[in-house]
Amino acid sequence: MARARRHLDGRVVAITGAGRGIGRATAQACVRAGMKVSIGDLDLPAAQQTAADLGDRTIALELNVCERASVGRFIDATENRLGPIDVFINNAGIMPLAPFVEEEDAVARRQVDINVHGVLHGMKEALDRMLPRGRGHIVNMASTAGRVGFAGGATYSGTKHFVVGVSEAVRTELRGSGIEITCVMPGVVNTELGAGLPQARFVGHIEAPMVADAIVAALHSPRFEVYVPRRIGPLSKAGAAVPTVVRDAFGRLLALDRVLGRPDLDARRSYEQRAARSAGDLESGA
């Protein structure tokens, strides 16, 4: 029997890296659903502008996901102003691109700090509040790269595989607790993070509101895996079920090696420069 659709009106959601991109679009979709939204971002002016644009159901708070104490302060401030959090969305992340052997160690560490430890900090701090209440929903922004390793983004793919894996494991640990876990795996999204990326065959780029609407749909009707667009799911699962030689041929047919491996560097220059100095204020989906 299908579970009843959950009402979101008046619920409190906290979103990391929500000053722009998918995070901003998700905040907007949550406001439309009647939720009270806390926008966390290292770029506080961007968070404040987003909150101002979205109206009086939102607040903006400074957040550095690399520091667990900062995440804790973000949640405490959210709850002090909006009430107990019902949903926590781990959206912040970065995706600098380079061939693996050319990637600087500092860039790799920064990706792990933001994309991996940022998610861990968010989950642990949110669960500290949710578990005693016996309710809550954590949404982790992964990527299609969480199921498929993309040339040109090896470390990024590794961090997103981690997000999928830790989400699956924690979901199992929390069975019966009243806490829902959702893992979102979009394709390439037309945001700053996706700038200059060529399209795979048969799977075009998508817009941030499409991802945001899929997230809100998963809050209404909880499920673990959310692929955006939805057709990516069967393709990903089919690839995982066949021998490596078939999977490789399938990847070449879809031109997956070009998606992160042959970007337009001029088009990505602005993003790459910001990612190089970011400490957790950029979006996460790709």
pLDDT tens sequence across 23-40: 999 999 999 999 999 999
In the predicted structure, residue 220 carries a pLDDT above the cut 70: yes
| Residues 12-277, CATH architecture | 3-Layer(aba) Sandwich (3.40)
Q: Where are the alpha helices (DSSP H) in the chain?
A: 21-32, 44-54, 68-82, 105-111, 118-133, 154-173, 208-220, 232-241, 244-254, 256-259, 265-277
pLDDT at residue 251, as a whole number: 62
Q: Is 227 a catalytic residue?
A: no
Percentage of the chain modeled with pLDDT above 90: 67
Q: What is the mean pLDDT of residues 63-67?
A: 97
pLDDT tens sequence across 135-153: 999 999 999 889 888 889 9
Domain edges within the chain: 12-277
In the predicted structure, residue 42 carries a pLDDT above the cut 60: yes
Q: What is the mean pLDDT of the chain?
A: 88
pLDDT tens sequence across 108-128: 999 999 999 999 999 999 999
Name the more confident of 84 and 187: 84
Instruction: Please identify which of the residues 74, 88, 150, 156 carries the catalytic annotation.
Output: 156
pLDDT tens sequence across 163-214: 999 999 999 999 999 999 999 999 888 777 766 676 766 567 779 999 999 9
Write out the H or E segment, with its range, that includes residue 258: helix 256-259
Global pTM? 0.89
- Residue 65: how many CA atoms within 13 Å on its side-chain side? 39
pLDDT at residue 136, as a whole number: 98
In the predicted structure, residue 271 carries a pLDDT above the cut 60: yes
Q: What is the mean pLDDT of residues 96-111?
A: 93
